[in-house]
Amino acid sequence: MTPPAFTCSMAVSASGHSLLALLLDAHPQLTHPGDTILSAHLFESANCACGKRHAECEFWARMTTWEGYVYLRDHLRRGPLKTLYSLPVLFPLQRAGLVVHPGLRRYARTLLAYPERVQELTGAQAVIYGRKRLADLLLPLATRATVRILHFTKHPIAQAISFSRRKARAGQTPADFAREWRFYNRRVLQAARLGPDTGYLHIRYEDLCLRPEETLTAVCAFLGVAFHPDMLRPGAQRPSHVIGARSLVGAPGQPFPGIRPPDLSFADLPSAEQEIVWRIAGGLAAGLGYPRAY
Ligand SMILES: [Zn+2]
Q: How far is the CA of 212 from the centre of ligand 1 (A)?
A: 24
Q: How far is the CA of 40 from the centre of ligand 1 (A)?
A: 15
Residue 196, CB half-sphere, CA atoms under 13 Å: how many?
Answer: 0
Could you tell me the pLDDT band of residue 2, with boundaries at 50, 70 and 90? low
Cα separation, 226 vs 70, in Å, equals: 34
Domain assignment present for 294: no
Longest dimension (CA), the chain: 56
For the stretch 208-231, pLDDT in tens is: 999 999 999 999 999 999 999 999
Residue 286, CB half-sphere, CA atoms under 13 Å: how many?
Answer: 7
Query: How many domains is the chain built from?
Result: 1
Q: How far is the CA of 241 from the centre of ligand 1 (A)?
A: 4
Q: What is the pLDDT of residue 235?
A: 87
Could you tell me the pLDDT band of residue 3, with boundaries at 50, 70 and 90? low
Domain assignment present for 24: yes
Q: How far is the CA of 45 from the centre of ligand 1 (A)?
A: 13
| pTM to 2 decimal places | 0.96
Domain assignment present for 91: yes
Q: How far is the CA of 54 from the centre of ligand 1 (A)?
A: 6
Q: What is the pLDDT of residue 219?
A: 98
CATH code at 189?
Answer: 3.40.50.300
Q: Is 164 exposed, middle or buried (0-12, 13-18, 19+ CB in 10 A)?
A: middle
For the stretch 102-160, pLDDT in tens is: 999 999 999 999 999 999 999 999 999 999 999 999 999 999 999 999 999 999 999 99
Q: How far is the CA of 243 from the centre of ligand 1 (A)?
A: 8
Domain assignment present for 98: yes
Q: What is the pLDDT of residue 52?
A: 87
Cα separation, 36 vs 124, in Å, equals: 17
Whole-number mean pLDDT of the chain? 93
Give me the amino acid identity at 77: R
Picking from 257, 250, 255, the residue whose alpha carbon sits closest to that of residue 46 is 250
C-alpha torsion 168→171→173→178, nearest 10: -40
Q: How far is the CA of 41 from the centre of ligand 1 (A)?
A: 13
**Residue span of the structural domain in which 110 resides:** 6-287
Picking from 21, 49, 26, 20, the residue whose alpha carbon sits closest to that of residue 229 is 26
Q: What is the pLDDT of residue 42?
A: 55
Q: How far is the CA of 137 from the centre of ligand 1 (A)?
A: 25
Mean pLDDT score, 264-283: 97
Q: How far is the CA of 145 from the centre of ligand 1 (A)?
A: 29
Q: How far is the CA of 55 from the centre of ligand 1 (A)?
A: 9
Q: How far is the CA of 228 from the centre of ligand 1 (A)?
A: 22
Domain assignment present for 186: yes
Give me the amino acid identity at 231: M
Q: How far is the CA of 21 from the centre of ligand 1 (A)?
A: 14
Q: What is the pLDDT of residue 54?
A: 84
Are 182 and 280 contacting, i.e. CB atoms less than 8 angstroms apart?
A: yes
Domain assignment present for 292: no
Q: How far is the CA of 199 from the centre of ligand 1 (A)?
A: 30
Q: How far is the CA of 49 from the centre of ligand 1 (A)?
A: 6
For the stretch 26-35, pLDDT in tens is: 999 999 999 8
Domain assignment present for 142: yes
Cα separation, 88 vs 140, in Å, equals: 12
Is the alpha carbon torsion for 164, 170, 173, 177 positive or negative? negative
Q: What is the pLDDT of residue 196?
A: 87
Q: How far is the CA of 134 from the centre of ligand 1 (A)?
A: 26
Domain assignment present for 1: no
Q: What is the pLDDT of residue 1?
A: 53
